[in-house]
Structure 1
Amino acid sequence: MSARTVERIVRSHPSQDGDGVKISRIHDFGGGLDPFLMLDELGSDSPDDYIGGFPPHPHRGIQTLTYVIHGGLSHEDQLGHSSTIGVGDAQWMHTGHGIIHSEMPLTDSQGLHAFQLWLNLPARDKLSPATYRDVRAADMPRIEVPGAELIALGGEWHGHDKESGEQRISGPLDALAGRGAVAHVRLAAGGSLILEQTAPTLLVYVFEGELIVGNDAIARGQLARLNKGRHVQLASTPGAQALVLAGHPHGEPIAHYGPFVMNTREELDQALHDYREGTLTN
């Protein structure tokens, strides 16, 4: 049984996007997280940090996955989709050829805490039709063992411990790029969870407490890329929450400019031209 260990750790950095929304961001457009590109964490109890939201803006060539811990977000796009997600809900966009959308924040007693993940589309799908879907918390299956819980947003997850045996679940988002899988893990103080995950890319982002993987501690605001292997044990002394991301690299060139991610500079120039001419979403 080969166990995964930490290959490297990356710390999130403060940034802002949209109408001045303050975020913590990790990104790699050089292929280091392939098929993932970027992870933004929105988290504040001060409305001034996010109240401007994300007014209408374009995308091409990616998928986005937005997941809410507290508060909510309202989505609208040129395809006619209009919906609101709240605590534990997610929304997924396959931007393909092009989409123009807005996301506006909602708050609860704890303010707003949410994530947006970018996944790269393979070259064959970058100009495919755009689609949208939202998923409610009640539709997300869970792995539960003493002191630990995994909530599957998408992809396949296998977890086990000595008392509960093996549990296998699949999240409702089954069309994530790069055969992607995304899960939310909660560990109580002293809790642990063993996952079987053979995808070449396996990432863990800690957003509460501290996680131990092998001999390495992963602190809040850090993302760990794990070495190849079959099993990984996540443990925490104080308790922790994390997002776990798994996927298969495309291994293709990445060309990035703002909200567009393509394979070549020429394709980026075409995306900018199409947006200016009003044909991005045709």
Structure 2
Amino acid sequence: MTMKQVKRVIQSHASKDGDGVKIQRVHGFNDKSFSPFLMIDELKSESPDDYIGGFPPHPHRGIETLTYMLEGHFEHRDHMGNVGQLKSGGAQWMSAGKGVIHSEMPIMTEGGLHGFQMWINLPAEKKRLPAEYHDFQSPEINEYGDESNLLRVISGTLTENGNKLTGPLQDTGVETAIADWRAAAGETRTLGIPEDYQANLYVYRGEVVISGTLVKAGHWVQLSDGDSVTFEAQSEVGLLLLSGVPIHEPVVHYGPFVMNSMEEINQAIHDYQNGVLTD
């Protein structure tokens, strides 16, 4: 095995999106080391004032989104008629393809919220396919280990000691392996990742040593080439592993649209303004 090393650590920054929802964000639309990922938003608050406005109806084209909820309850609605409940421990995947209009609104009116939304790029030939949506409630997400050292695999396949660890989300626009690792202080884990995948991490709780480098909560980690990575929890820790096949194509980003050229972005804006984005 060739162990992945830490290449770069990026601190998340405070931002707002939707109707004033407070988030911590890391983005790398034109950073090839992020690919196929484009951005991660962490939503974390104990105050309803920080999230109650939610994300009213808005468009997307050219990306997939994966939303994962540790704590809280949001409802998804889209132009296709899908209504999905995103509850604690669950996830939802959406491929915007040629166009989707959707909303994500809180059902909860009090209590703590903690979740993530990841933007994943689509290759050019899949940016004009019809939109799709699936949700996965907490019992559908495969778990490996116990409460002191738990790996929840959301998408794709990882390996550990020669065993395959699979998630319920498999048929996506680009191959990914995404997992949530939660562990008590002193616990370790070594995971195998397909060698042709690029891998990044987001630490959302505690402190962890990743292949020898200490990383604290609120930081995005870019990993080097290799086929495995080792985590060592220095405290109670939580992190997301985001790995996938990189897309070697131009990225042009404008608001909710991610395409390969400015001409395609202008077409997306024109289509949305004229009510034909999803046609």
Partners of 2:81 and 2:275 lie apart in 1 by 17
Q: What is the aligned partner in structure 2 of residue 14 from structure 1? A: 14
Task: Name the SS for the 1:172 alignment partner.
Answer: coil
Q: What is the aligned partner in structure 1 of residue 188 from structure 2? A: 192
Give the drift of 1:167: 3.2
Give the drift of 1:9: 0.6
- Report if aligned partners of 1:147, 1:190 keep a CA contact under 8 Å in 2: no
Give the drift of 1:32: 3.1
- Report if aligned partners of 1:71, 1:108 keep a CA contact under 8 Å in 2: no
Partners of 2:148 and 2:88 lie apart in 1 by 22
- Which piece of structure 1 moves more, 78-87 or 269-278? 78-87
Partners of 1:277 and 1:82 lie apart in 2 by 25
Task: Name the SS for the 2:167 alignment partner.
Answer: strand
Partners of 1:11 and 1:43 lie apart in 2 by 16
Partners of 2:149 and 2:179 lie apart in 1 by 13
1:177 aligns with 2:178: no
1:67 aligns with 2:68: yes
Partners of 1:243 and 1:108 lie apart in 2 by 27
Partners of 1:193 and 1:146 lie apart in 2 by 14
Paired residues, number: 277
Partners of 1:222 and 1:250 lie apart in 2 by 23
1:274 to 266, 271, 279: 271
Residues 76 and 146 (structure 1), Cα distance of their counterparts in 2 relative to 1, 3 Å cut: closer
Q: What is the aligned partner in structure 2 of residue 121 from structure 1? A: 122
Q: What is the aligned partner in structure 2 of residue 254 from structure 1? A: 251
Q: What is the aligned partner in structure 1 of residue 97 from structure 2? A: 96
Question: CA-to-partner distance for each residue in 1:222-269, whole Å, 9 max, x for gaps?
Answer: 011111112211011212001101101110000100000000000000
Name the amino acid aligned to 1:19. Answer: D
Partners of 2:86 and 2:264 lie apart in 1 by 33
Task: Name the SS for the 2:174 alignment partner.
Answer: helix
What runs of 5+ residues in structure 1 fail to find an aligned partner? 161-165
Give the drift of 1:109: 6.9
Aligned alpha-carbon RMSD (Å): 1.4
Give the drift of 1:189: 1.3
Give the drift of 1:111: 1.3
Name the amino acid aligned to 1:25. Answer: R
2:240 to 243, 247, 253: 243
Name the amino acid aligned to 1:262. Answer: M
Give the drift of 1:157: 1.4
Partners of 1:158 and 1:34 lie apart in 2 by 21
TM-score (norm 1): 0.95
- Provide the identity percentage: 44
2:227 to 210, 227, 230: 230
Residues 208 and 56 (structure 1), Cα distance of their counterparts in 2 relative to 1, 3 Å cut: same
Question: CA-to-partner distance for each residue in 1:48-105, whole Å, 9 max, x for gaps?
Answer: 1110000000000000000100011101111000121111111110100100000012
- Report if aligned partners of 2:48, 2:110 keep a CA contact under 8 Å in 1: no
Q: What is the aligned partner in structure 1 of residue 157 from structure 2? A: 156
Give the drift of 1:141: 1.1
What runs of 5+ residues in structure 2 fail to find an aligned partner? none
Task: Name the SS for the 1:273 alignment partner.
Answer: helix
Partners of 1:193 and 1:136 lie apart in 2 by 25
Give the drift of 1:106: 3.2
Q: What is the aligned partner in structure 1 of residue 132 from structure 2? A: 131
Partners of 2:110 and 2:153 lie apart in 1 by 25
Name the amino acid aligned to 1:209. Answer: G
Give the drift of 1:192: 0.5
Residues 145 and 45 (structure 1), Cα distance of their counterparts in 2 relative to 1, 3 Å cut: closer
